[in-house]
C-alpha cells in the first residue's frame, strides 16, 4: 500500500492533513572544495631534487583532491622514480596516471603505480632490465650487481604484478624487452578489472554465508 503525504497550507487548521510524520527519502547536500592538480612528466626522469615540489604535493593533498600524472617519458633515474612511486602510494588523494604517448623503463613502473590508469590511443609501454655502471674492486662490483639485481626483482614484481605475468617478469630479468601498444595495455587492464570484480564478489558471498551461519540459532544440548 502506498501513502501520499501532503504538506499543510495556510488554510489548514489542526486537522489530520500533514500531521503524519514523514517517512520517505530525505536529501541532504554538501558542497566540497575539490582540487584537480596535473603534472606532465615529459623527457627523461632526472635527479630527485628536481621533483621536490611534486613530492610535497603528493604528501600534503587532501583525500578529496585528484592528482593527474601525464606521462610521455623514455625512463630515467631509477631512484627518483621509486621516490615518486613511494610518495604516490603514501598520497591521501587519488592519483591518476595518464599514458599520453610512451612510458618506457622506469616510466612504465610509474604508470602502473597509479590508483587509476588512463590510456590514450597510439601509446606504448616498454619494460626492460636495469642498466648501470659499477666502480671498485671486482668483489665489490659483484656484490653491487647481486644486491641491485635482487632489489630490482622485488620492485618489479611488486609494481608490475598482475599486469605482467610471472613468466614475463622472469623474461625481463633475463634481458628480454617487452613492448605493448594501447590495445594490448587496455586488454590487460580490463582483465585485471574483471578479476578484481570476481574476487570482490567471491569475498562478498563468503561474508554473506558467514553472517548467515552466525545468525542461525545454536542447537540445544
Spatial distance between the Cα atoms of 69 and 77, rounded to a whole number of angstroms: 17
- Nine-digit cell string for 5: 503525504
pLDDT at 198: 73
Over range 15-37, report the average pLDDT: 71
Query: What are the grid coordinates assigned to 53, written together?
Result: 615540489
Q: Strands (DSSP E) along the chain, which ranges?
A: 36-42, 66-73, 94-104, 116-119, 124-127, 178-181
What local confidence, expressed as pLDDT, does residue 72 receive? 98
Please report the DSSP string for 2-41 in residue order.
Answer: --------TT--SSSTT-SPP-S-----------EEEEEE
pLDDT surpasses 70 at 19: no
Condensed to tens digits (0 to 9), the pLDDT of residues 171-213 reads 999 999 999 999 999 999 999 999 888 777 777 777 766 666 6
What does the pLDDT average to over 37-60?
A: 96
User: Is 62 in a helix, a strand, or coil?
Assistant: coil
Ranking 14-18, 19-23, 36-40, 133-137 by mean pLDDT, the lowest is 14-18
- 78, 113, 173, 206 from 104: Cα distances, Å: 12, 14, 15, 41
Task: Return the pLDDT at 8.
Answer: 42
Q: What is the pLDDT of residue 199?
A: 74
Report all structural domains of the chain as residue ranges with CATH numbers, in order of start.
Answer: 36-208 (3.90.226.10)
- Per-chain mean pLDDT for the chain: 85
Look at the block and give the residue holding cell 622485488.
Answer: 154
Q: Determine the Cα–Cα distance for residues 145 and 151; give it in Å rounded to an integer.
A: 10
The larger pLDDT score, comparing residue 8 to residue 125, is at 125
The pLDDT assigned to 5 comes to 41
List, for residues 136-177, the tens digit of each pLDDT value.
777 777 787 788 788 899 999 999 999 999 999 999 999 999
Percent of the chain with pLDDT over 90: 62
Mean per-residue pLDDT for 76-80?
Answer: 94
Q: Tell which wins on pLDDT, 146 or 134.
A: 146
Query: Nearest Cα to 106, choosing from 86, 144, 80, 88?
Result: 80
Q: Is the pLDDT of residue 7 over 80?
A: no
Angle at 87 between CA 96 and CA 184, to 5 degrees: 40
pLDDT of residue 1: 47
Q: pLDDT band at residue 123, thresholds of 50, 70 and 90?
A: very high
pLDDT of residue 22: 55
Amino acid at each position: 500500500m502506498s501513502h501520499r503525504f501532503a504538506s499543510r497550507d495556510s488554510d489548514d487548521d489542526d486537522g489530520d492533513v500533514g500531521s503524519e510524520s514523514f517517512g520517505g527519502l530525505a536529501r541532504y547536500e554538501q558542497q566540497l572544495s575539490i582540487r584537480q592538480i596535473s603534472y606532465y612528466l615529459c623527457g627523461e626522469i632526472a635527479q630527485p631534487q628536481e621533483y621536490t615540489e611534486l613530492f610535497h604535493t603528493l604528501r600534503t593533498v587532501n583525500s578529496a583532491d585528484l592528482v593527474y600524472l601525464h606521462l610521455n617519458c623514455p625512463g630515467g633515474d631509477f631512484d627518483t622514480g621509486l621516490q615518486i612511486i613511494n610518495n604516490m602510494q603514501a598520497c591521501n588523494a587519488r592519483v591518476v596516471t595518464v599514458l599520453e604517448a610512451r612510458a618506457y623503463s622506469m616510466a612504465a613502473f610509474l604508470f602502473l603505480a597509479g590508483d587509476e590508469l588512463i590510456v590514450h590511443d597510439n601509446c606504448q609501454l616498454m619494460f626492460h632490465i636495469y642498466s648501470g655502471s659499477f666502480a671498485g674492486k671486482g668483489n665489490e662490483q659483484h656484490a653491487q650487481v647481486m644486491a641491485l639485481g635482487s632489489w630490482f626483482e622485488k620492485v618489479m614484481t611488486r609494481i608490475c604484478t598482475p599486469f605482467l605475468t610471472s613468466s614475463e617478469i622472469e623474461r625481463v630479468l633475463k634481458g628480454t624487452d617487452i613492448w605493448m601498444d594501447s590495445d594490448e595495455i587496455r586488454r590487460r587492464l580490463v582483465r585485471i578489472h574483471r578479476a578484481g570484480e570476481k574476487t570482490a564478489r567471491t569475498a562478498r558471498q563468503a561474508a554473506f554465508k558467514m553472517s548467515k551461519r552466525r545468525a542461525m540459532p545454536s542447537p540445544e544440548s
